Amino acid sequence: MTSPCSKLVFTEFKNGGQPVGYTGRCVRAYLMDASELLAAGAQISAPLTPGKFSDTVSISSVYVPQTNVFEGALHKQTENYVFRFWDDGRPVMPFNGWEVHDEGDIDPNAATGSWSAIGKLEWLSANDAAALLNLNATEFTPDAFNTIYDEVWSKNHAGLAVPEDDTEEEQEEANPGNQVGE
């Protein structure tokens, strides 16, 4: 699977304020056929077509000085799973992930949807991600990403508006000293 991310908002320590970290938006695409996952009882809330964006994902991370790493989390916005990761600046980082049984979930496989996993995540350049998806890297500009994100969000959240981002002024007001980037 690949999850291009954008709309990153960075924070920094300032006058005892927010810790160093970032939040952002991602879209996810599987690079494989999901039929084996479904046959094993996987709970999948969006159609998975190899190489096509299927889900929106949130990312957040905070720097932990005691361990000298960014500890982060990725979570899908239509499921209750979490991937935790530890980013020490190298391109590959370990993760652990889990999803628990959700009593309110109406998916036919909800009773078998609880799992845990370990593995690795790898940061890729826009060029590398584009090559995996048979796209052009120009399709990963911030404006192009916004269009992709809005389309995937709307497909998975019928009838709900795409959440608006705070303006840079609102982010600065809420967290003085933040650095905002994309």
pLDDT digits (tens, 9 = 90+) for 4-27: 788 888 887 666 666 789 999 988
Say if strands 69-76 and 53-64 run parallel, antiparallel, or are unpaired. antiparallel
Among 29-33, 46-50, 58-62, whose mean pLDDT is lowest?
Answer: 46-50
Rounded CA separation 99/81 (Å) = 4
User: Number of C-alpha atoms within 13 angstroms, CB side, residue 101?
Assistant: 6
The CA-atom distances, in angstroms, between 31 and each of 74, 89, 116, 153 are 18, 25, 20, 19
Q: What is the pTM of this model?
A: 0.74
pLDDT digits (tens, 9 = 90+) for 87-129: 999 999 999 998 876 666 666 666 666 778 899 999 888 888 8
